[in-house]
Chains A and B, each alone.
Chain A
Amino acid sequence: MLSKVVKRIAISIPVLIGVVLLIFIMLRVVPGDPVATMMGEHVNPAMIEKISAELGLDQPLYVQFFKYVGNALRGDFGTSYRLNRNVTQIILESFPHTVKLSVLAALVAWIIGLVAGIVAAIRQNRLLDRLFMGCSLVGVSMPVFMTALVLQYVFAFKLQWFPISGFDSWQAMILPAIALGWNSAGSIARMTRSNLVEILQNDYIRTARAKGLREHGVIIGHALKNAMLPVVTMMALQISSMLSGAVLTESVFGVPGIGRLSVNAIETRDMPLLQGTVIFTTIIIILGNLIADLLYNVLDPRIREGA
């Protein structure tokens, strides 16, 4: 088990290096001088050159790269051009908001998704099943920002049940969490249902019934754990789609998290900040996948043993 974890982490390192390299090069080949953007259009060229030199942007790309990686390894991701503060610090300040939003959204997704999926499987092809699967289809097909805008318009603007933006009270957190979680809830519900329906055909389910378990006992005790194996993996994999969704949700609802931070960084060509947020997000996604794998291991004795 431990060796497996180590192996997985080792595999992740090249991925991480690749991402750093990619983002580093991309930011430097796109048109538009970051210093010019930062200073405004009407600054004289000499000034721009001087600042570029100060920031080390005049050096060859590979020098810049190794310097950056060297500092990053020591936890220093540079200084934000616009905010003029340490990037690591900025990220660590806004990250808790993103975590809170994602956790709430994940809770929404898990609870709604699982309950709807289980109920739909039990009431297969009946009214509730159709209703839930209809809703989840809408959930899966709607882009996050659209869900966010619709929720904001209806419940915050028209009905005024919730604040339009911000993230400082629990009322303010509800809409962003639902907006971000809805999509995942839809896929979890669909997957839970289809897995359960399939699992319920198995011979060991018949055995469970034959030994005297009631139907709910059969489902909770014998079907769910088997049906959950792929779902758990999917739920952990959705950490990545949660994060990309968080970018949009945070922008719509003005949540001061990593997502809004990177959008701002793009708009202002704040290279160190953008690099920092991208690398940070990558690490989170890699960790998410690792957790998914490990969970699968814990749940399924057949895999646990093969390790």
Chain B
Amino acid sequence: MNESVVLDVKNLKSHFFTAKGEVPAVDGVSIQVPAGKIIGIVGESGCGKSMTAMSIMGLLRYPGRVVDGTITLDGRDITHLKPKELSQVRGNELSMIFQEPMTSLNPVYPVGVQVREAILLHQKTTKAEAKQRVLDIFQAVGIPEPEKRYYNYPHQLSGGLRQRVMIGMAMVCRPKVMIADEPTTALDVTIEAQILRLMKRLCAEQGTSIILITHNMGVVAEICDYVYVMYAGKVMEQAETFELFEHTKHPYTQGLLKSIPRLDEKADRLYTIEGVVPNLLHLPKGCSFCTRCDQAQERCFTEKPGLYAAADGHGVRCLKYESGVKMDGE
């Protein structure tokens, strides 16, 4: 992992200040995104994937906020930017596609105009020129009849087309990093494959890095270069994709992989990880996964594991790998 890092997130902590207490939704996450690579973040629902993304984008809203850590984009610390500076980064150098394609576009403006706005906000061009660029990007993301679609309202487009519009909007300023938060969860499987391929191709062409958030291990295996596995606001395991699948170390990751249905193996029922995700307000004293871990030992309940290097570039947050070098500062 020594390629030039465009986005470096260090020890990010984002908490929600609720009436019931402080919820540590993102609890010391460190992520490195090398130029031109696709980074995956996986984990069960509620583990903090979206909140990590929102924190990086500076989009967390009350009652949530970033309480600690640094976010460095291309050598520049963007953790505490003023609103004006932040707005110059968003949509320009750093962009995001959201989980909900059906509702992420404004219903009262034509989709083309909404994409054009992203260009006009960040670049000095004429409206006509910007429109031409929208048509080009529509073409690139595979929207048929761009000229006609430009003037369509969101409700006139299918979910797949809307998500293509969102990708177009996120790519049109050629960002350094694009965060895609489960961009295909709401779409059907054939469209999912098309969209993922499209994102991969565009990013290769433009040199944009992607953070792909998903809970689909199959998707990860197919397009990610490096993977972070999250659980209860923390990174539990991280490794290059091949390494992670071949030498899975963490019991949680093993559970996740086992729960993928496979065609080549007969099984009576689908494997699921026992138990439920713990309430973030009442996490176990030791390892946050200990309550569901089938390999847990006594000390797992009392001692918090660090992130240990089990192999080159392969980190595991599990006491079994304590002998490895600690990768985070905790």
User: When A210-B91, A213-B87 are in contact, do A301 and B108 touch as well, CB less than 8 Å?
Assistant: yes
Rounded to whole angstroms, the CA-CA distance of A18 and B122 in the bound complex is: 59
Pairwise interchain contact A301-B153, C-beta atoms closer than 8 A: yes
Pairwise interchain contact B100-A299, C-beta atoms closer than 8 A: no
Rounded to whole angstroms, the CA-CA distance of A136 and B177 in the bound complex is: 46
Pairwise interchain contact B105-A204, C-beta atoms closer than 8 A: yes
Q: Which residue of B90, B105, B153, B169 is within 8 Å of A209 (Cβ)?
A: B90
Binary CB contact string for chain A from 272 to 303 against chain B (1 if under 8 A, 0 otherwise):
00000000000000000000000000011110
Rounded to whole angstroms, the CA-CA distance of A215 and B117 in the bound complex is: 15
Pairwise interchain contact B91-A211, C-beta atoms closer than 8 A: yes
Pairwise interchain contact B83-A207, C-beta atoms closer than 8 A: no
Pairwise interchain contact A203-B91, C-beta atoms closer than 8 A: no
- How many chain A residues touch B (CB < 8 A): the figure is 22
Rounded to whole angstroms, the CA-CA distance of A110 and B197 in the bound complex is: 51
User: When A215-B83, A302-B155 are in contact, do A208 and B106 touch as well, CB less than 8 Å?
Assistant: yes
For residue B95, CB closer than 8 A to chain A, the reply is: yes
Chain A residue, CB-CB nearest to B100: A203
Chain B residue, CB-CB nearest to A222: B106
Q: Which residue of B57, B106, B122 is within 8 Å of A210 (Cβ)?
A: B57
- In the assembled complex, the CB of B51 is this many whole angstroms from the nearest CB of chain A, namely 13
- In the assembled complex, the CB of A100 is this many whole angstroms from the nearest CB of chain B, namely 33
For residue A169, CB closer than 8 A to chain B, the reply is: no
Rounded to whole angstroms, the CA-CA distance of A305 and B108 in the bound complex is: 12
For residue A3, CB closer than 8 A to chain B, the reply is: no
Chain B residue, CB-CB nearest to A302: B155
User: When A211-B91, A213-B121 are in contact, do A206 and B98 touch as well, CB less than 8 Å?
Assistant: yes
- In the assembled complex, the CB of A301 is this many whole angstroms from the nearest CB of chain B, namely 5
| Candidate in B83, B84, B117 with the most chain A CB atoms within 10 angstroms | B117
Pairwise interchain contact A211-B117, C-beta atoms closer than 8 A: yes
For residue B311, CB closer than 8 A to chain A, the reply is: no
For residue B118, CB closer than 8 A to chain A, the reply is: yes
For residue B59, CB closer than 8 A to chain A, the reply is: yes
User: When A215-B83, A300-B108, A301-B107 are in contact, do A210 and B155 touch as well, CB less than 8 Å?
Assistant: no
User: When A214-B84, A214-B87, A302-B155 are in contact, do A209 and B59 touch as well, CB less than 8 Å?
Assistant: yes
Rounded to whole angstroms, the CA-CA distance of A96 and B96 in the bound complex is: 55
Pairwise interchain contact B90-A212, C-beta atoms closer than 8 A: yes
Pairwise interchain contact A226-B106, C-beta atoms closer than 8 A: yes
Rounded to whole angstroms, the CA-CA distance of A202 and B166 in the bound complex is: 16
For residue B194, CB closer than 8 A to chain A, the reply is: no
Chain A residue, CB-CB nearest to B105: A204
Residues of B within 8 A of A (CB): 57, 59, 83-84, 87-92, 95-96, 98, 100, 103-108, 114, 117-118, 121-122, 153, 155, 166, 169
Given contacts A209-B90, A210-B96, A210-B98, 7 further A-B pairs with CB under 8 A are A203-B104, A204-B105, A211-B118, A212-B90, A213-B87, A214-B84, A214-B87
Q: Could you list 22 examples of A-B contacts with CB < 8 Å? A: A203-B98, A203-B104, A204-B105, A204-B107, A206-B59, A206-B104, A207-B106, A207-B114, A208-B106, A209-B59, A210-B90, A210-B96, A210-B98, A211-B90, A211-B91, A212-B88, A214-B84, A215-B83, A221-B117, A226-B107, A226-B108, A300-B108
